Amino acid sequence: VDVGMLITGKVTRVTPAAATVAILAAGGVPLESPTFTGVVRLEDVTQVNAEEVEMMSCYRLGDIVLARVISLGDSRTFFLTTAEEQLGVCIALSKASGAELRPLSYKEMEDPVTGAKESR
């Protein structure tokens, strides 16, 4: 895993300040085991003003995200960003039906079964 690489990961923790991501693949290559962790900080979620971002409405546990590595934190943690148009939550499941949500915009997804909208 190197700075600048695109990674695919699973959200394992969300706090008001950051989301923790288990890195599953880097540069399109699956990792044998998710031994690396990434952190998306509040200021790295979107190009919109960070003061307008609420982490709890951007990510939920279990979401699969596409992110870019922006720097090395410590030996096993990388800082990630989703502040590019093609990055962010790519797979999420509905709270109501368990169906895979489909994206409507950069911050909203829809349950195809119930029609309910969820923020992401």
pLDDT per residue as tens digits for the range 40-90: 998 888 877 667 778 888 899 999 999 999 998 777 789 999 999 889 999
**Average pLDDT in the chain:** 89
The C-alpha angle 37, 24, 74, rounded to 5 degrees, equals: 20
In this prediction, what percent of the chain has a pLDDT beyond 70? 97
Q: What is the pLDDT of residue 50?
A: 62
Strand partners, 26: 7, 29
Q: Mention every residue, 6+ apart, whose C-beta is less than 8 A from residue 22.
A: 9, 10, 12, 34, 36, 37
